[in-house]
Structure 1
Amino acid sequence: MTDHLAWAPAACTLPTAEQPLRVAEFDQLFADHLRSAHRVDPQTLDLTLTAEARAATAALTARESECCSFFTFTLTDPTNNQFHLHIGVPPTQTAVLDALADRL
């Protein structure tokens, strides 16, 4: 799904004009640093990224949590030159996680 509006449920408070920029940040993170992805269940996505992206990922997910508070982002400490990002959403927001997973 390439439409940025798929990201943005009514609960999102990020201004519409900024939404494509945020999507582009996630796209760049995934393009440059994603090593693997596992869809645990409809509400959970686990990603493995390069360790060098840990700080940028923490900043990006913190900003995303400010506008889409339904997301739960959990980052592990880097080991073996990688870290894990666990993304969770409530049952009412699985379409948003689907849209995110489609961008991987």
Structure 2
Amino acid sequence: MTYEGKVLAALADPTRRAIFEKLAKGRSSVADVARSLPVSQPAISQHLKVLKEAGLVSDEPLGQRRIYSIDLAGLGPLRQWLDRFWEDQLAAFKALADSDEASGAGPRKPER
């Protein structure tokens, strides 16, 4: 599976997205995450394992607990992958605007 496939598969699950969004607000232990969601602590651990394997979160030991946070190194490639689509759309829009300008046509109405 490609990197993008792994990341998208990891985030496809609504519980994992909720965990990811919680960690985006700050570092948390498994117990802290479990208190904020209607999911058991062992299930949270399994979801965190998937997110970690996808490179989206990292953990560090703190006593007997593990503290999880967003892995910024893992977000970089995801951002680059997503930016590619944005850049393609901007290039297509620029080409359309340039062709309208060259032909003397006014702005087009967006298609729906």
Larger Rg: 2
Same fold (TM over 0.5): no
TM-score normalised by L of structure 2: 0.35
Structure in which a larger fraction of residues adopt helix: 2
TM-score normalised by L of structure 1: 0.37
Structure in which a larger fraction of residues adopt strand: 1
